[in-house]
Amino acid sequence: MKGNHKGQMLFFSVSSLLLVVFLLIGFGVIEFDSKDPATADSVIQDPVFVLETSLDNQIYSVGLSDNEYTESEQENIRIYEALNKAVVNITTEKLSLNWFLEPVPTDGGTGSGSIIDKKGYVLTNYHVVKDTYKLYINLFDGSQFEGEVIGQDSENDLAVVQFDPDGFDLTTISFGNSETLKVGQKVLAIGNPFGYDRTLTTGIVSGLSRPVRTSRNLVIQGMIQTDASINPGNSGGPLLDSHGRMIGINTMIYTPSGGSVGIGFAVPVDTAKRIVPDLISYGHVNRGWIDIYPVQLEPNIVRYGKLAVSKGILVSRLDSGSNAAAAGIRGGDLNKPVQYGRSVIYFGGDIIVNIDGLEVNSLEDLFSALEDNKPGESVEVKLIRGKKNITTTVILTERPEELLAE
């Protein structure tokens, strides 16, 4: 009986060992290589990995090759390789006072910009170059050129700077069209977030025609909303469509934390196309104006003047022969001046409440309503005169230089 027991034990041990060996071979732990060296080398040079996953009892196999890219990836790569050299890093210096009240240069921060002309014109944001003492244009290869601001427009947060390329063959980005954009359309952003040069991010158009109020309390109309990651340092960089055309200028983000949360805004390129020629030629944008001396309504003014409305622009006075007078707009009673702080107000004038369909509740609204109008163009103006509603048409003149919203 003991002999039979030993035999049984030996049989089970050998069987168990053989079973383990077969299982190891089956799972590929032990492998007999029958390939010749040439075949093995070809596999190493062109590996193909097969990813298998189980979902709802079905097997899905996806072939991935390290020399193959999806159509979307190829598009991203093609656009980046073609245009990243046209995106510059802008660094600035500003003047500040030291302990002895002497002006000294200090770091002014960084931003991005797009080369739009081989003569060295760069489109960027106004807030990137505002109040700069010196600015430098840094190219993709590390070359650095000193530049200068040749035109700026705070009302659209855009500026044009120029540097001398000194024979350098510059890559440029062409303007596209922002009027035909659709929500859901793919977009790409190239910039220098947190100093990381020419970073590419992708996303979609999340919204269109967004009115966005800037830190200067001006409203930029028609902004493009995108979920492409935009962070500090991206400002001034291009927002591109899937053909590599600039459709916007990345400007700001909505953030409760200081970082991107997927809500970014870009100035539409159609705005840039409209104002860039003026910025290059004049240094500012020639905009139309209604020749009045405006006063923004405030609770104390409304209460003192017993006005019928609480928001709008009071026409304190106007000059005879002005475009406002020609349109029938009335100013206040010059015989009854009222001291208000450091200003003098004349009550009794019309109150402007709407221009070309845009509500005018403040001076900033007045600037915004006339932002895209040139001298010689006409606008429809709605007024409150006493308790009457009046509509008139004003032919605009050129905005005085002292009223440029800097």
Q: Kindly report, residue by residue over 149-174, the tens digit of the pLDDT.
A: 999 999 999 999 999 998 899 999 99
The answer for residues whose C-beta is within 8 angstroms of residue 379's C-beta and 6 or more apart is: 288, 290, 355, 356, 369, 370, 373, 393, 394, 396
Surface-to-core class of residue 268, CB atoms within 10 Å of its CB (0-12 exposed, 13-18 middle, 19+ buried): buried
Backbone angles phi, psi at 134, to 5 degrees: -140, 150
- Which residues, in sequence order, are bridge partners of residue 188? 202, 240
Q: Are 161 and 116 in contact (CB under 8 A)?
A: no
- pLDDT tens sequence across 88-123: 999 999 877 777 767 777 777 889 999 999 999 999
pLDDT at 47: 35
Residue in 112, 114, 157, 362 annotated catalytic = 157
Surface-to-core class of residue 27, CB atoms within 10 Å of its CB (0-12 exposed, 13-18 middle, 19+ buried): exposed
Res 50 pLDDT > 90: no
pLDDT at 96: 75
Give the range among 254-268, 287-301, 367-381, 391-405 with minimum mean pLDDT. Answer: 254-268
* Nearest-angstrom CA–CA distance, 245 and 67: 27
Res 25 pLDDT > 60: no
* Nearest-angstrom CA–CA distance, 348 and 359: 21
Check residues 381 and 402 and name the one with the higher pLDDT. Answer: 381
Q: Tell me: domain 288-403, CATH 2.30.110.10, correct?
A: no
5 catalytically annotated: no
Closest listed residue to residue 156, CA positions, set 222, 94, 112, 105: 222
Q: What is the separation, in whole angstroms, between the first and last Cα of the chain?
A: 108
Check residues 60 and 367 and name the one with the higher pLDDT. Answer: 367
Ranges of each domain in the chain = 70-285, 288-403
Q: How confident is the model at residue 145 (pLDDT cuts 50, 70, 90)?
A: very high
Fold for 70-285, please state it.
Answer: Thrombin, subunit H (2.40.10)
Res 253 pLDDT > 80: no
* Nearest-angstrom CA–CA distance, 350 and 68: 69
| HEC readout, the chain | CHHHHHHHHHHHHHHHHHHHHHHHHHHCCCCCCCCCHHHHHHHHHCCEEEEEEEECCEEEEEEEECCCCCHHHHHHHHHHHHHHHHEEEEEEEEEEECCCCCEEEEEEEEEEEEEEECCCEEEECHHHHCCCCEEEEECCCCCEEEEEEEEEECCCCEEEEEECCCCCCCCCCCECCCCCCCCCCEEEEEECHHHCCCEEEEEEEEEEEEEEECCCCCEEEEEEEECCCCCCCCCCCEEECCCCCEEEEEEEECCCCCCCCCCEEEEEHHHHHHHHHHHHHHCCCCCEECCCEEEECCHHHHHHHCCCCCCCEEEEECCCCCHHHHCCCCCCCCCCEEEECCEEEECCCCEEEEECCEECCCHHHHHHHCCCCCCCCEEEEEEEECCEEEEEEEECEECCHHHCCC
Res 8 pLDDT > 80: no
Q: Are 162 and 148 in contact (CB under 8 A)?
A: yes
- pLDDT tens sequence across 323-338: 999 999 999 999 989 9
Check residues 375 and 252 and name the one with the higher pLDDT. Answer: 375
Res 70 pLDDT > 80: yes
The amino acid that residue 146 corresponds to is E
Q: How confident is the model at residue 397 (pLDDT cuts 50, 70, 90)?
A: very high
Residue in 112, 114, 127, 368 annotated catalytic = 127
Give the range among 16-20, 36-40, 65-69, 249-253 with minimum mean pLDDT. Answer: 36-40
HSE, side-chain direction, 13 A CA sphere, residue 178:
26
Residue in 112, 154, 178, 235 annotated catalytic = 235
243 catalytically annotated: no
- Provide mean pLDDT across the span 44-71: 47
127 catalytically annotated: yes
What is the residue-averaged pLDDT of the chain? 83
* Nearest-angstrom CA–CA distance, 273 and 158: 11
Give the range among 143-152, 192-201, 214-223, 368-377 with minimum mean pLDDT. Answer: 214-223
